[in-house]
Structures are given as C-alpha cells and as structure tokens.
Structure 1
Amino acid sequence: MLRKGSIAASLFWLSAGWLVLALVTTGFLLTDLYSRALDTTLTQTLDFQIESLTGALLETRDPQDPDIALADPRFERPRSGWYWIIHDGNGNLVNLSTSVVGIDLQAVGTAADALGRSTEVIDDPFGTRLRMVERVVSLGDDEYRITVAGNLTEILAMVDDFRGQAFIVLGAVGIMLAVMSAIIARIALRPIARLSQAVEAVREGDSAEVSGTYPTEIAPLAEEVNELLRSNAQIIERARSQVGNLAHGLKTPIAVLRNEAGAGKGPLAEVVSAETEKMSNIVATYLERARLAARTSVVGKKTDAVATLERLTRVMRKIHPDIAIAFEPRGKALPWFRGDEADLEEMAGNLLDNACKWSGGEVEVSLSAERGEKGSQLLIRIDDNGPGLSEADVDKVLRRGVRLDEKTPGTGLGLDIVKELVDVYGGSLELKRSALGGLLAELRLPTARLGGTARMPGS
C-alpha cells in the first residue's frame, strides 16, 4: 500500500497524472487522425464517382440520357445521403439520381480549388450531413456542373464509435501502466525501506550498525550512518573518560581541604568547611548530569521493564520488610523500555524507595502500556497509603536537594535525578493524590517497538 507523503506515492501520482494527460491527448489525436482519414477517403470516393459520371456523359453526349447512372446502389435509395445531380451552364437541373427524388439539392456555391474541384458540407432536409464535391465538365460548347454528395453523418458516427473504443482501450492501458508504475516504484524503493529497517534495528538495539548491501545510490548513506554511529560511540567514550578523570581530579583536593578544615577551629575553618561542602555538592551535581547525558545518549539500548520491576520489588521487600509491596503487570505482552536498564532501575527505584519510606505500610506498583501524543509509552504507577503531598509540596520536592522532612534519611537529590532522566528520555513524571490516600507517581517512558516483548511472571 502506498503511504501518503512517501516517495513511492509521489512517484505514483506524478506518473499517473502524466499518463492520464498523455493518454487523453493520444486519444483525441488518434480520433482526429481517424476522422481526417475517413473524410479524405470519402472525398476520394466522391471524386471517383464524378469521374464515372463524366465518362458516362462524354460517352452518351446527352446529359439527359437515362442511361447515365452509377453502379453504387446507395445512389438509387431515397434519403440515403448519397446523391448526384447535373446542372447546365445556366444552373438548370438536367439529370439526377433516383435518391434525389423529392429533394431540392442545389449545386455547390464555393470556389474551385487548384484541381478544379469545389467542396462543401451541408445538411439535407432529413438532417443528414453531406460532403458535396463538384466539377465542371465541358461538352462541346456547353459546360455542365456535376455534383456528387456522400453521407458524412455515417463518417461522424464511425468516428464517435472509434473515439469511445479508443478511450476504453487507452483507459485499460493506462490502468495497467499505473499498476506497473506502482509496482516499479515499490520495487525500486525497496532498498530504502531495508535501510530504514536497518536504522530502526540499530535504534532499538537489535543491531550495532547498519548492515546489508544497498544500491550505489544509497550505499554511501548507509556507510555515513555507520560512521556517525562509530563517531558517536567514540565521543561518548571520551566523555565518560573525561568525566571520570574530572571526578578523580576534584575529589582528592576537596577531600584534603575538608579534612584540613575539619582539623582546625575558628571562623576560617568553618568557612572553608562550608564552602568545600558546597563545592562537593556542585561537583557531584554536574558530574551526575554529565554521567546521565553520556549514558542515555547511547543508541540501541532496551530493557525488559517487567523483569526490572520484579527485581526492584524483591529488593525493596528486603530493605523495607514491614511494607507490603504488590506488583501487577497489566497486559500479557508488554513492550520493552527503550533505554538503559540502569536508568530504569534508578528512576523506578527512587520512586519506589520514596513510596516505601513515606507509606503507611502499603505500596502498589503497576505496569501497563498506553498510546499518547508521543506514540506508545510504558506507564509505571506507584501508589502508597502515606500522608501524600499538596500541590505546593509537589513543586517543592521536584527541586534539587529540597526535602520536606529533614528527619528522614536522604540527600533530597533522588526525585530531581529521576526528573532529569525522564527529560532525557522524553518521558514524563506526574505526582498526584493516590486512591490509597497517599501519593501516586505516574512515570511514562518510551517503548522499544522492535525486538521481544516482556515476559509475564512465572513464564
């Protein structure tokens, strides 16, 4: 099927439009040529009949001789559209065919051409269109005008029939050519579809590079994509190395300053301790952002979301043995998460850990798939029966380092890290009032459209 906006569809409609124009033009051209050929044949036939009458006139030497006649029986049948008449030099009628009886048929009034022939098209009293041809014949001192008329309506009817049949044949040819054009377009563009599938396989993690053999026109594109992937991998690897080097390079001086300040007393030591703490937090923040950006830029990662959430719930049950944690995958064949497994563990793990810390003893985790404005997405819902949050508190907890309860252990960076990861993957995080009475966290993430589907528990 040709998709709207595709190259194949554009080629098909362009070729189809050209075919329609070409075939319609061809149909009218063939009809005009056929009409001209029939009219020429009719004129030649009338010329022959005039020559026959001229020969009979010269033989009999009497224009009123009843033996002057034509062999064609149509000239003997009334209202046939085939007539002949002979006028003398004064325009008086001296002889005529049987078919002219009861018809007032006048001589041709047009001037003669280079061959001495005059032609005209008229309608007889019965509505039949006639082609009339006239010649002047000299018999001694007298001149006679011999006029022969042929049935032009029959010719026009034959042209109409030919036109109808021609357009039927040309229409059938056009349909066959259009189908052939569509087939050729699909076959010719098949390598592009294979290239698209190969790139999709790389994006979804089924392949490390674009593979396959392609025509010379698009083979350079496939190679450029592979070169881009290799260059991207090298850039990410260098970024990871530089992030690691920066971390090691800054941690040691900051630790020395902190230790030295902690060993001393006085206002200077307090200022140094406070400032080194700020430096440590800033370094940790930007190193974490760099780490997330580098990790999520890797093309081709995908994760079994069901298995990951199963593992997280088992871990959280051990960390929080007093909390009842229920996990329910909603669907028999859920798609995979299009991203790194560690990132999914960090996002879902932070949300689940917060739910356990603040719940009243009950936490529910569900996983489902939904289709939204961004296409297919995974929806992870984490409900708890804790105190919940107001709308103002929801805005506060998503800020880096903000904690509503300083007594509960933590750095306050968890939710903000989740938010940054969600933004990198193009997902969304919403905090709402839970049906259990506490907080509901809804995490939406992109799905891997190619590859396997997640297994169900116990499968």
Structure 2
Amino acid sequence: MRARSLSLRVALIAAGGSALALIVAGAVFIYQFSTAVERNFDARLETLLLTLITATSAEGEVDENAVEGRSGGTFSRPLSGWYWQVREADTGRALDWSESLRFDILPVRDLPTETEPARTFTIQASGGRQLRALEQLVTLGESRTFALLVAGDTEPMTEDVRAFRNSVIRVLGGLAVLFALGTALLVRWGLTPLRGVRDDLNKIREGEIGHLEGRYPREIEPLVHDLNALLNSNREIIERARTHVGNLAHALKTPLAVLQNETRGASEPLAAKVGEQVAIMRDQVEHHLNRARMAAQANVIGAVTPVAPIVGGLARVMGKVHQERHLDIQTHVAAELRFRGEKHDLEEMAGNLFDNACKWAASRVRVSAGRREIGRRPFLTIGFEDDGPGLPAEGREEALSRGARLDESKPGSGLGLSIVAELARIYGGSLSLEDSELGGLAARLTLPAPGD
C-alpha cells in the first residue's frame, strides 16, 4: 500500500525503525541472559565435579559426607534435580551414585574418550526431564581410571530464561506503545507548519487572503517564497491578458463599427454584402474576444462569488425586461452557495440562461441551485427551467454549437448558449439541456464551488 500521506510515511518509517530496534534489542538481551545463565550452570557443574573428584577414593568409592558438605545437601534428596555417579572407564559399569538417584542410574551408554576426556552433554531422564551433564575421565591411584559425572535438571534454568523473555517482551511492548505515541505527537507537531501552508492555500482559494502569511521554519521558507512568487506571477499574467484583450477589442470594434455605419445608408448590392460580412465579422470577433477573456479569468486563484445576489439581481432585471408578459419568476438559491470564479463570468452565464428561459417561457420560470460532490470535488449546479415548448432531444446538441439558432423568430445571434457552454468547460464544469418538470426546457449549469 502506498503511503500518499507525508504524516503516514514519516510515522511508518519511525515505527518501522523503532520496531526493528526493539526487536533486535530484545533478541540481544534474551540471548545474553540465556548465555549467562547457561555459563553459570556449567560453572556450578564444574565446581560439583571437582568436589566429586576430591571425594572419590582409588577404588571408586565416594565419600558422600564430603560431597554433601560442599554441595549443600543437593545430592541427598531423592529426585532433587542434581545427581552424580561413578563408572569404570573400561567397562562403563556404575560403581557408585548419589542418593538423589535412589536405586536408578543415569542412562548414559558411551564414555569419554582419551582425545576428549571431559565433555558436556544432555541426558534425557525419566519423566521427560532434560539433564545437563559434565563427565570427565579421572585416574586415581596408579592405574585405575574412572568416569565421574555430575548432572543437573535444566528446567529451572529454562524457567528463568522464559520468565526473563516474558519480562523483556512486556517491557519492550510498553516501550513500543510509548514510542508510537511519541512518534505520533512528534509527527503532528513537526508537520504543523505544512498544515499551516495548506490552510493558507485554502484561504487563498477561498479569496480570504492574497498571499501566504506568517512565519515558517527555514526548511519550508523557500517553498513559501516560491508559492507567493507564483501567485504574483499568475496575477500579473492575468492582468496583462486582460489589458491585451481590451486593447484588441478597441482596435477591432472601432473599424468594424465605421464600416457598418458607412454601409447602413447605402442601397448598392456591394454595400449590403459588406454590411452582412461586417456583421458576421463582429460576431466572430466578439466570440473570440470573449473566449480569450474567459480563458484569462477562469483560472484566477482566490476568486469566489456568492450566487444568491447574482441570481436575485438577474431575476429583478428579467422581471422588468419581460414586464408586459407577467411571468412568474421563482428563485430558490441558498445564501451560502458560492461559485469559485469571477463575478462577471457568473453574471454572463446566468444572464444568458435566465434570458433564454424567459424568452421561451409561457408563464413560469424557475431558478434553483444546489451543491454536490463529483469525484470528491465540490460543484455548484444552477437550473433554469421554463414552461415553454421545450426542445427535442435530437436538437439539444445543435443548440449548444456556436451560432446555432433553432428559431429565427426569436432575437439573438445564436452565440449565447455556446459561450455559456465554453465558459463552463474552461472552469471545469458543464452545461446540459434536459426536460423540465414545468413542461419546457431545463438548462443545468455545473460550475466549481469552493471547498468547505
């Protein structure tokens, strides 16, 4: 799974490093402890073997009182876990053994060799017990050699190691929890400046501030400076584009207006043809200038426009324009709805659609707006509905094309819906034509909305 979150990535790295360190430390602690316990056990076996050697006579008999006195009585209690026995080195026959063995002897078949006169090994005793034994060849007197063996039960040693391992696991587990909490706090505290940058960027998108403000750590100061420079550059580019579009509009519209005025009073065929072409040129110039202006404005960072005042103002204007028709104009727009874009663009899009609905309405026009999520992004949907004749489904795509006029009896150039659709696309939204519940046509305008 990819860690797309920086906090998660840092936390996973810290948690993985801490877990690895704790596991290695725990393994080392347990190994060192078990090695030390085993070393101490072997040291005691060596001490007891020396005691047994000094208490053994040349005939292989053991002075048990001497052994018991130096061992603390561990060999006199039956099944105490500590045992000794003496065997002949030639035949392996047991000559003597400790009282803790009672009437049994240890199940050892082989004997130490001359190349390895002393050995440490494990004996499987009765009852499933494991004994760790130390056996050595010892020559007593002039010629007799004996195999002297001492053994101890490893269960207490194993229990000590197991108890220590459980303690280590509990302690290191507690440390792991503390490390996890500490890592979470450190990550949250350490990434606070980045969350501040994110919050300020959201405020810039909402139009609340114009630049990243405040003091930031040295590590992200270059990022903050670059972002502010990018914001300034974006605004400068947009202002230059607006200026150039305005200059171009004046440079083209004035000569076209002169040509149109010159041909208006003339009756020659050439003048009529020139006037017709000038009108087409004006429509084309207006379309492309609007498109250039829209492209310059659509990506303005921080532009946010309330929707309700725009729709309310347009409703009053449309009521006056179509006053003689006595249209029932209804608006249902929540006060908190906002459009992430320029006010002028929203006025142009909503005005075109509002005017279109009023032109075709028989008696009723309804405008409603709402907010919804599309692909985890917030969008604003404004619907313009009328109770007019509507539009067949096969003609709706043509109605959105540039210059299309499905009814020449209505005034207009046919550019309104195409401009609205194109401007909506530039903002990342859309315009769709549907059937209205009122019986006519419903134009649905979808535009980006600011985040909460």
Q: Which deviations, in whole Å up to 9, do the C-alpha atoms of 1:397-445 show, x marking residues without a partner?
A: 2122222222222222211121122112212222111111111122222
Contact 2:89 2:137 in 1 (8 A): no
> 2:172 maps to which residue?
170
Q: Which deviations, in whole Å up to 9, do the C-alpha atoms of 1:33-84 show, x marking residues without a partner?
A: 21111111001001111222233337x9973445342233331222222101
Aligned counterparts of 1:7 and 1:305: Cα–Cα separation in 2: 36
Contact 2:291 2:423 in 1 (8 A): no
2:309 corresponds, among 307, 310, 316, to: 307
Alignment of 1:21-60 (within 5 A): 21-57=20-56
Alignment of 1:350-369 (within 5 A): 350-369=352-371
Contact 1:236 1:294 in 2 (8 A): yes
Unaligned runs of 5+ in 2: none
Q: 1:67 is aligned with what amino acid?
A: N
Q: 1:131 is aligned with what amino acid?
A: R
Of the structure 1 ranges 73-82 and 379-388, higher mean CA displacement relative to structure 2 is found in: 73-82
Q: 2:294 is aligned with what amino acid?
A: L
> 1:373 maps to which residue?
375
Aligned counterparts of 2:109 and 2:53: Cα–Cα separation in 1: 16
**Does residue 284 of structure 2 align to residue 282 of structure 1?**
yes
TM-score w.r.t. the length of structure 1 is 0.89
> 1:123 maps to which residue?
124
Secondary structure of 1:246 counterpart: helix
Contact 1:205 1:301 in 2 (8 A): yes
Contact 1:79 1:126 in 2 (8 A): no
> 1:454 maps to which residue?
none
Aligned counterparts of 2:31 and 2:407: Cα–Cα separation in 1: 94
Q: Which deviations, in whole Å up to 9, do the C-alpha atoms of 1:104-132 show, x marking residues without a partner?
A: 22377345788x63211111123211111
Aligned counterparts of 1:352 and 1:315: Cα–Cα separation in 2: 10
Of the structure 1 ranges 62-71 and 382-391, higher mean CA displacement relative to structure 2 is found in: 62-71
> 1:383 maps to which residue?
385
Contact 1:335 1:448 in 2 (8 A): no
Distance 1:148 1:177, change over 3 A: same
Alignment of 1:35-184 (within 5 A): 35-57=34-56, 63-70=61-68, 71-90=71-90, 91-105=92-106, 106=108, 109-111=111-113, 117-141=118-142, 142-184=144-186
Residue 302 of structure 1 deviates from its aligned partner by 0.9
Q: 2:126 is aligned with what amino acid?
A: P
Distance 1:410 1:278, change over 3 A: closer
> 1:245 maps to which residue?
247
Q: 2:276 is aligned with what amino acid?
A: A
> 2:13 maps to which residue?
14
TM-score w.r.t. the length of structure 2 is 0.91
Unaligned runs of 5+ in 1: 451-459
Q: 2:311 is aligned with what amino acid?
A: L
Q: Which deviations, in whole Å up to 9, do the C-alpha atoms of 1:209-240 show, x marking residues without a partner?
A: 11122222211111111101111111111111
Distance 1:186 1:262, change over 3 A: same
> 1:394 maps to which residue?
396
Of the structure 1 ranges 139-148 and 227-236, higher mean CA displacement relative to structure 2 is found in: 139-148
Distance 1:20 1:112, change over 3 A: farther
Aligned counterparts of 1:107 and 1:52: Cα–Cα separation in 2: 24
Alignment of 1:214-253 (within 5 A): 214-253=216-255
> 1:411 maps to which residue?
413
Aligned counterparts of 2:450 and 2:221: Cα–Cα separation in 1: 27
Residue 196 of structure 1 deviates from its aligned partner by 1.1
Secondary structure of 2:56 counterpart: helix
> 1:424 maps to which residue?
426
Aligned counterparts of 2:44 and 2:300: Cα–Cα separation in 1: 86
Distance 1:263 1:353, change over 3 A: closer
Aligned counterparts of 2:439 and 2:162: Cα–Cα separation in 1: 84
Contact 1:46 1:133 in 2 (8 A): yes
Secondary structure of 1:76 counterpart: coil
Contact 2:97 2:105 in 1 (8 A): no
> 1:339 maps to which residue?
341
Contact 2:328 2:365 in 1 (8 A): yes
Q: 1:325 is aligned with what amino acid?
A: I
Contact 1:336 1:448 in 2 (8 A): yes
Aligned counterparts of 1:367 and 1:318: Cα–Cα separation in 2: 22
Q: 2:344 is aligned with what amino acid?
A: A
Q: 1:420 is aligned with what amino acid?
A: E
Contact 2:131 2:153 in 1 (8 A): yes
> 1:258 maps to which residue?
260
Aligned counterparts of 2:187 and 2:231: Cα–Cα separation in 1: 30
Q: 1:72 is aligned with what amino acid?
A: G
Distance 1:208 1:13, change over 3 A: same
Residue 256 of structure 1 deviates from its aligned partner by 3.4
> 1:328 maps to which residue?
332
Over the matched positions of the two proteins, sequence identity in percent amounts to 38
Secondary structure of 2:4 counterpart: coil
Contact 1:325 1:364 in 2 (8 A): yes
Of the structure 1 ranges 416-425 and 68-77, higher mean CA displacement relative to structure 2 is found in: 68-77
Number of matched pairs: 444
Aligned counterparts of 1:251 and 1:282: Cα–Cα separation in 2: 11
Aligned counterparts of 2:170 and 2:242: Cα–Cα separation in 1: 70
Contact 1:108 1:120 in 2 (8 A): no
Secondary structure of 1:376 counterpart: strand
Q: Which deviations, in whole Å up to 9, do the C-alpha atoms of 1:349-398 show, x marking residues without a partner?
A: 21111111111111112222223335322221222111111112222221
Contact 2:88 2:95 in 1 (8 A): yes
Q: 1:28 is aligned with what amino acid?
A: A
